[in-house]
Amino acid sequence: MLFNSVVFLTIFLPIALIGWYLLKKLNTPLFAKLFLIGMSLWFYGYYNPSYLLVLTGSLVINYGFSMVLERIKGTGGRKMTLILGILANVGILFYFKYFNFFLDNCNYFFHQNLQLEKIALPLGISFFTFQQISFLADRYMGRAEHYSPVDYACFVTFFPQLIAGPIVLHSEFLPQLKESPKKPFDKEMFYDGAALFTLGFAKKVLLADNLALVVNSVFDVLGVIPYCLDIWTGWVTAVCFALQLYFDFSGYCDMARGIGWMFGFTLPENFSSPYKSASVKEMWRRWHMTLGRFLTTYIYIPLGGNRKGKVRACINLFVVFLVSGIWHGAAWTFVLWGAMNGLAVVWETVFPNFKFRSHALNVIKTQIFWILSLVTFRCNSITDAFLYYKYMFTRPMQNYFFRYADCLTLPETYIAEKAVRMLAPDKMWLFYWIVLAILLLISFLVIRGKEAKEWIRTYACKKSGAFVLAFLFVWSFLSLSQVSTFLYFNF
């Protein structure tokens, strides 16, 4: 189920909130927790009920390993249990997410013709798998207790963060779940949650989805119609994708955290103004922060971190970014994207003083690199990525540049578009470019402005802020006719 859908906003969310707060009033919290698990399973299985088998199977397997860790006291037995638990999780992830990719590459490199029906990728499998691996690792290290099956199921299936994060640790959710029955309804937290949800809703529907019209018009036909690309369209489209990806994913995380607040839970922050970063290292401290935290805690540090010299630290960093690339998708484009970011971070580690004196120039340099790396992230193949790079640096402006923004036929500009088409049809290309320029200007103002939580703290309780929130919610809701899925549902 999508956050940005009519059924979620008008049926699912009201039922979930009302049921949760009514059942919390009972003497036992068990019914409220079971209700929350049931609603979360409905949310997850709405798109494809068969995915519930994968989710519940993963949940049962990991809870079983937790039980074994509770009973085994010897170090050797506990370590073997952890290894088997990690292998089980990675095996499930590999089968559903990477097996087709593995088979295709075996066929290509070894000239075989092995055939297997394409395996459907269950939504959010990367997220809830990493979440449970972190739990098992903390159980082994003695940093997590063995929770009841109901509490553990709530932790894994809590629907706001289930499909696309943020990746929540047990220490961030389960203590809140235990305290929840004692906590009265917090109207301020609920209002702030609704405000954060609305800001994320607007990011997704009004910015990300409209930028996607431009992005898809080029990337989706790149290998078929290469003349669609030149220097200007290449750079503008790459910038649009960088903005689309940020508004799409950070919008989802804002909506997830906002729903969490509405239920009385605080979920971890996942973005902190990444486009203000002055280095690639800083970029990754601000972008998808919970994934970065997981990779640092459970891969980089166990590999030795920076404790074994600079050379080993650089190797560990590169491995972490390769894993990040592979985590994002089963394609060589994601491996290349991870390697590009890994090499950039290693370069900054080896040459920390190789930068401009001007902070603004360092920000620009970092964002140019990030935009270029995302070309590989978005392209359907390595071949398409190299073709894109070639044209965005070498091909002079073509006629396509003047008509490429005509995909921005938006409901909001319908009257103005009709007027221009009647009065000056030969200037339609200019009209579309003005619409795109306005969209980009608003996007830049948003990424350079206050973070959502700061905006809420400053303006949400004022009449003007409440009006803006109401306006954005209504506008976004009315725009749901062109609803689209979230990009990170694919990962």
Q: How many other C-beta atoms can be found within 10 angstroms of the C-beta atom of residue 470?
A: 11
Q: Write out the two tokens for 188.
A: 């301020």
Q: What is the dihedral of CA 418, 423, 428, 434, to 10 degrees?
A: -80
- Contact (CB, 8 A) for 229 and 222: yes
Nearest by Cα to 252 from 487, 490, 12: 487
309: left (phi over 0), alpha (psi -120 to 50) or beta: left
- Contact (CB, 8 A) for 120 and 53: no
- Contact (CB, 8 A) for 250 and 271: yes
Tell me which of 146, 288, 328, 359 is the catalytic residue.
Answer: 328
Please tell me the total number of residues recorded for the chain in this structure: 491
Give the chain's end-to-end CA distance (angstroms, integer): 16
The yes-or-no answer on residue 170 being catalytic is no
| Separation CA 293–CA 436 (nearest Å) | 36
Q: Write out the two tokens for 290.
A: 């919970």
| Separation CA 140–CA 143 (nearest Å) | 8
Nearest by Cα to 215 from 252, 251, 242: 242
Q: Write out the two tokens for 216.
A: 């898809």
User: For the chain, what is the largest distance between any 2 Cα atoms, rounded to a whole number of angstroms?
Assistant: 82
Q: How many other C-beta atoms can be found within 10 angstroms of the C-beta atom of residue 163?
A: 25
Would you please indicate which residues are annotated as catalytic (active-site) residues? Answer: 328
